[in-house]
Chains A and B, each alone.
Chain A
């Protein structure tokens, strides 16, 4: 029985990772065809010298950074405001917040596209950033809200009673308490932005491509080992980031256990 279970898990993991692994292997292959014919770094050199890819990379980073920062700020304050609301007000705002989470990406993409063409905002970097902020804010709100609920509101009032200004009390009392939620929200917003294809696809401007869009237009023209090289780098980056954050979390858990 145990053997059966292990085989089942193994088979699923192989199906999940075989294509990724092969993609990585063939990014070092000395041939355009998927037959191994020697090690090369040609595809990587090609990738680093391709101005289109360089530009797409820069745009992806800019959009991800700017939209993550703005959506984290708006979202954190929104969560604090919503936390003070009651009854129908809170329900109404939360229902609006759920809309981008529940509606299909393609609908978010085309609805924003129509808005931008109606108000005649030229498609390009601003439309990309605005659309990414729009789908990121709900995730920030939902990761900050639980921390606010856990927090003891009396602490904030105590700070005010002891003479702190509201801003000082926020900085010293509220913010440290909700910080894990804010960081998690920023992290989610950043990854969502880097990862997004559908919404960007409808809201990009001519010549302003993000990496996923660049890859899509290359992939449509057929197999291209340069894509394998980009994928390898993107996959490795994500794996390293997740491993590092996960290890840190584990370390904290261990420290907490040790203290007890």
Chain B
């Protein structure tokens, strides 16, 4: 009852449903009717797709930076000693992670719509209405809103683990608050920051749902292009090639951020 063979059912499962599907993507992206070809990748070089790729990276980066800037102070406040009911607040910040992201995005869409809640209020107050939806900024907003908890939690975890005597030693040695933050707290919290960046950047880069609901089909990101190939145009070969490109970007980001390393150091969510 305690042998390696216990893992065999899983290994078979993983081989069929994890490894083979990935190999299928590789195969379909390079072979057309048994012949090796690069035409799917050449097609990606068209202006339209390259622009979508850069737009995806740009929007994902923007929302990651906004998340980081907003989450770091919050994590610091929550890990500080003064906060009385910080457990409750932390729970409230993390709770949306368990709620359906589709529903939460829809909630904002129904608020921001042209005849949504906010504009109805403005109308009732005789003020001009504002067109919030269907643009890059609405999409960035949706990304920040959806993935914000993923930034707070790892930073909070790391900040809580910092030995307070190190911070006190820094004060005793004459450093002021800014220097202590810059030289002690920030470097020690880097594993959490890196995990947070990965946890926000990845889903933001690959989303097609947020763009669909808040961008109204006008903002095309790489995720939307893949989705389109598989649901409407049915160009599986090109869809596979775009997925391969996406996977390569993900792998580069992961190696760059040495994801596993920071996960093991306790910055992770699990």
Contact = CB atoms under 8 A, between A and B. Distances in A.
A143 B269 CA distance: 11
A165 B250 CA distance: 47
Interface string A212-231: 10011001100100011001
Nearest to B118: A34
A131 B17 CA distance: 8
B18 A134 contact: yes
Nearest to B144: A15
B57 to A, nearest CB: 14
Chain A contact residues, majority secondary structure:
helix
Nearest to B141: A15
Interface in B106-164: 106-111, 113, 115-117, 120, 124, 145, 148
A156 B2 contact: yes
A110 B25 contact: yes
Contact of B246 (A18, A77, A104): A104
Which range holds the interface residue count of chain B?
A: 35 or more
B148 A215 contact: no
Interface string A14-52: 011111101100100000011100000000000000000
Interface string B1-19: 1111111111101101111
A82 interface: yes
A66 interface: no
Interface string A123-151: 00000001101100100011100000000
Given A8-B73, A19-B107, A35 B206 contact: no
Given A110-B243, A111-B21, A238 B101 contact: no
Instruction: Sort chain A's interface into a size bin.
Output: 35 or more
B156 to A, nearest CB: 13
A75 B230 CA distance: 30
Kindly name the residue among B18, B103, B145, B205 whose own CB sees the greatest number of chain A CB atoms within 10 A.
B103
A84 B203 contact: no
Contacts of B9: 74, 77-78
A170 interface: yes
Contact of B17 (A103, A130, A215, A227): A130
Contacts of B106: 23, 215, 219, 227, 231
Nearest to A166: B1
B173 interface: no
Contact of B96 (A16, A75, A80, A111): A16
A100 interface: yes
A118 interface: yes
A202 B99 CA distance: 21
A8 B19 contact: no
A13 interface: yes
Nearest to A118: B24
A164 to B, nearest CB: 10
Given A130-B17, A134-B13, A77 B103 contact: no
A107 B194 CA distance: 23
B254 A102 contact: yes
Interface stretch (B30-38, B39-47, B85-93, B179-187): B85-93
B55 interface: no
B175 interface: no
Interface string B244-270: 001100100010000110000000001
Contact of A22 (B80, B117, B209, B226): B117
Interface in B213-242: 213, 223, 226-227, 230-231, 236, 239-240
Contacts of B17: 112, 115, 130-131, 133-134
Interface string B193-214: 0000000001101101100110
Given A15-B145, A35-B124, A112 B14 contact: no
B82 interface: yes
Contacts of B24: 111, 114-115, 118
Contacts of A223: 110, 113, 116
B250 A93 contact: no
B102 interface: yes
* List of 10 A-B pairs having minimum Cβ-Cβ separation, nearest first: A81-B7, A78-B10, A111-B21, A166-B1, A104-B206, A19-B107, A81-B6, A170-B1, A34-B117, A77-B6
